[in-house]
Amino acid sequence: MHAASITELTWRKSSHSGNGTECVEVSDDLPGVVPVRDSKRKNGPSITFTGTAWTSFVEEIHAKRFV
């Protein structure tokens, strides 16, 4: 994946974010991976998780294992 292609993805943030400005955005456009970026830095860097790693991370958040 090239950095330039990241800006062409469709990004979304959690519905729990509301109108907050301290958010991360994710994209569902790439099969098998989940790119994540800072909503304030749309042209900034992103980190990419495997689908399995992202699912595990979200499950841990829902279980309130992160403070």
Number of domains in the chain: 1
Q: Which domain holds residue 45?
A: 3-62
Residue 20: inside a domain, yes or no? yes
Residue 13: inside a domain, yes or no? yes
Tell me what pLDDT residue 25 has. Answer: 93
Tell me what pLDDT residue 14 has. Answer: 80
The closest alpha carbon to 6, from 23, 26, 32, belongs to: 26
Contacts of 29 (CB under 8 A, 6+ apart): 9, 10
Q: What would you measure as the largest C-alpha separation in the chain, in angstroms? A: 35
Residue 56: inside a domain, yes or no? yes
| Distance between CA atoms of residues 46 and 41, nearest Å | 9
Residue 67: inside a domain, yes or no? no
Tell me what pLDDT residue 6 has. Answer: 77
Question: Which residues of the chain are modeled with pLDDT < 70?
Answer: 1-4, 67
To the question of pTM greater than 0.85 for the whole model, the response is: no
